[in-house]
Amino acid sequence: MPKFNMNWIYIFVIISLVLIFFSSSSHGFGNSSVSIDKDYTSFINYVNKGYASKVEINKDESTLKMYVKPEHQREVFGQGNLGSDPYVKVDIGSTDNLETFLNTAVQQKKISGFSYKNNDSSLLTNILINVLPWVLIILVWFWLMRGMSGGGRGGGIFSVGKSKAKLYEKSQAVGITFKDVAGQEGAKQEVQEIVDFLKNPKKYTELGGKIPKGALLIGPPGTGKTLLAKAVAGEAGVPFFSMSGSDFVEMFVGVGASRVRDVFRQAKEKAPCIIFIDEIDAVGRARSKNPAMGGNDERENTLNALLTEMDGFGTNSGVIVLAATNRADMLDKALMRAGRFDRQIHVDLPDLAERKAIFMVHLRPLKYDKSLDVDFLARQTPGFSGADIANVCNEAALIAARHNKKEVTSQDFLDAVDRIVGGLEKKTKVMTAEEKRSIAIHEAGHATVSWFCKHANPLVKVTIVPRGQALGAAWYLPEERVITTKEEMLDEMCSLLGGRAAEDLFVGEISTGAMNDLERATKSAYGMIAYAGMSDKLPNICYYNNQDYSFQKPYSESTAQVMDSEVLKMINGQYDRAKQILSEHKEGHNRLAQLLFEKEVIYTKDVEEILGKRPFKSRSEEILEENEKLDKAKAADAPKLEDQSDAVKKAQAEYEASADAAKETPADTTDVSKETPTNTTDAAKATPVDNADVPSQENDDNNKD
C-alpha cells in the first residue's frame, strides 16, 4: 500500500480557506460601488427629500442600503458621477417601523420600492464552517503526534529513547585505513587482530580461541584513539556503529538506558558488528559509594544497562564493543573487568621513531623542501601527540604561504613549533632599553647555567623577542629519558633557577620574570620529595593519592611541614649552585647577554664561540656514537668476496659483466643506469639515520625492562 502523502491534506485546507474567503463577501472582488455610512435620521431625511431610488434591507446584519439617484449624488456624497449604484449604508434596529415608513414612501412615490436581501448561505459554505475547525484540530493533533513519534526529520519526544549511533555499512567507505595511522604499532596490532578475527574467524576458532568482547583504548588526548577506531571502521568489512558517550545522556529519566538497549538491539540484528563509544567516561564513570550523594542516579542506571548488555545473563555473540577514553582512572571497575573489556590498549604519546613516522604521514600533502631533516623535527617535538604534529605541519604551511614561499622549509617548521609551544611572536611590544637588557641577562643566565650542567638539555637558541605570555625564552632540545635520576632532575632545576640567579648577581634586583621558572622548579621539587622519595628526611616514601575527590591528604601536618622544609632546602641549594656557576663564568655570561641584547636571537654556535665547546656529551650524541660503532662492527663482520665459494664469485663476475654491458646501451638505457646509482647513494645516506633511530628505541625498551 503506498504511503499517504500529507501534502494533499495541506492543499485541501488551503482551497477550503480560499472558498470561505470568497463566499464570505456578498459581492466579491467585482464590487466597485461607492458607499458611505450614515445614521438612521439622515436616512429618513434623504428619503423624504426624494434622494433614494430604492432600498435593500438585510435582516441578518441589521443594515440597509439606500441607493442614491444620480441627480442627487452631489447632495449626499459631495460629488457627482460616482459610477453605478452608489449607496448609503445604515444600521437599523426594529424593522416594523421601518417597513411602515417605507410603505408610506412608496405610496408617496419618493422611492420606487424596497426589498429584503439576506446573506447567501450555500450547503458547501455551511459544511466548511461547521466541519473545517474540527478537521484543522484533527490535522494539528495528527501532525504533533507524528513528530513526537519520530516521523519528523528531527525525531520527537517518543523517539527520545532511540539510539543516536551512526551506522557505517560495508559499502560505506570511511576513507581511513591502518596505512593512515603512523606509529602506535603495538596498539595497531591489537586492533588489527580484532579486524582479522572478523574477516577470518576460522583461523582462531580452530585453536579454541574466542573473539574479544571489547577493547578499551586508553591514552592522552590527541594520540590517535579515534583515528584507530576510524581505521577499524574502514577495514573491518562489518557494520560499524559509532557514537559518543554523551549521546546516552538526556534530560528525561530512563532515556540513557533505553538508548543503550536500542543500540545493542540493532547491533545484534546486524551481527557480527562493532560498536564504538567515544569518550566513554561520560557514561562509565565509577558509581558513587555514598548513599547521600544520589544526584547521578540516571547516569548510574545508564551504566547498569551498559554493563548488562555487554556481559549480562543474555549473550551478545558477534558484537564487539570498542571504546576510547583519556580518563581511565574514573571508569567503574565493573566496566573494566575481563568479559566486558577483555583488552585495554594503551595509546601513549609517540616516541622519537613514531613521531618521525607521523611526520612522514602529514608531510605527504605538503610541498616541502626535500632537504628537510625529519629526524631533527622529530627530536625537536618531544611530548607532542599526533594531533600536535599535524598542527605543526599545518602551521608550517600557513607560515610559508604568509611569506609567499613556493615550498615549506625547515625554518617554517621550527617557527611553527615555536608558535605552538610559546605562542604568537610579538615584535611590536614596546620595552625600554633597561628592561630589554634585564631580560637578556635573565635568558643568558639560563643558557650559561644549562651549558655547564651535565644532565641539562642541549641548548638550541636563546631569544628575547616576546612570544605569548613570555618576554624571552631559552629553547632546548629535550632528551627523552626512560628513567630520570635525581642528579638529572637537580640539573634541570638548577637551569631553571639560572635566570633569577643572573638577575640577583648582575642586575642587583629581582623581578617577576622568573615566575614561571619558580613554579616549575617548585613543582619538580615537590614531586621529587612527595612522590619519588628523593629526600634525605623522607626517603623511599611515596605519598601519591589517585583519588581526585578525596578531602584528606595521605600524610599528616607534621609530614607536610617536613616536605616544605625539604623543598626549600633543595631549591635554595640549586639556587646557590646556579649563582656559583654564573660567578665562575661571569665574563662569558656578560658577553652572551650583550650579544643577545644586540641580536635578540642567538643560537648554539654563538654560545659555543663565547663559552667554548660544551664539556659534556648529550644523551643523543652518546646514542649516535654507539650506533656508529655497531654499524662499523657489522660492516667488519660482513663476509668478503674472496672468502666466498667459487659459485658466489662466478655470480658476482656475471653481474659485473652485465653492468658493463648496460653502460654501452643507447641513451635512454644510459639515463636509467645513471639514475640507479643516485638512488642507491640516497638510500645509503638514509640508512645510518634509520639505524640510528632503531637502536635508540631498542635501548629504551631495554631500560623499560
**φ and ψ at residue 419, rounded to 5 degrees:** -65, -40
Of 373, 384, 457, 385, the residue nearest 413 (C-alpha): 373
Estimate the crossing angle of helix 557-584 against helix 486-496, to 10 degrees. 70
Q: Which residues contact 159 (CB under 8 A, 6 or more apart)?
A: 148, 149, 150
Domains of the chain with bracketed CATH: 27-116 (3.30.720.210), 160-287+298-346 (3.40.50.300), 352-420 (1.10.8.60), 433-616 (1.20.58.760), 642-704 (no CATH)
pLDDT given for residue 203 in this prediction? 86
Q: For the residues 206-234, what does the mean pLDDT come to?
A: 87
CA distance 472 to 513: 9
Look over the chain and give the mean of its residue pLDDT values, rounded to a whole number: 79
Query: For 36-89, what is each residue's pLDDT tens digit?
Result: 888 888 888 888 888 888 888 888 778 888 888 888 888 888 777 777 778 888
Greatest mean pLDDT among 241-255, 477-491, 563-577, 609-623: 563-577
Query: For 284-315, what is each residue's pLDDT tens digit?
Result: 888 776 555 544 577 888 888 888 888 877 66
Q: For the residues 565-593, what does the mean pLDDT come to?
A: 95
**How would you classify residue 279: left for phi > 0, otherwise alpha for psi between -120 and 50, otherwise beta?**
left
pLDDT given for residue 151 in this prediction? 46
At which residue does the C-alpha cell 436616512 appear?
A: 43
- Reading the block at residue 566, the C-alpha cell is 625539604
**φ and ψ at residue 36, rounded to 5 degrees:** -150, 145
Q: Which residues contact 441 (CB under 8 A, 6 or more apart)?
A: 502, 503, 506, 507, 589, 593
Query: For 333-349, what is each residue's pLDDT tens digit?
Result: 888 888 888 888 999 88
pTM for this model (two decimals): 0.62
Confidence of residue 446 (pLDDT cuts 50, 70, 90): very high
Burial of 641 (C-beta count, 10 Å sphere; 0-12/13-18/19+) = exposed
> Which are the catalytic amino acids?
443
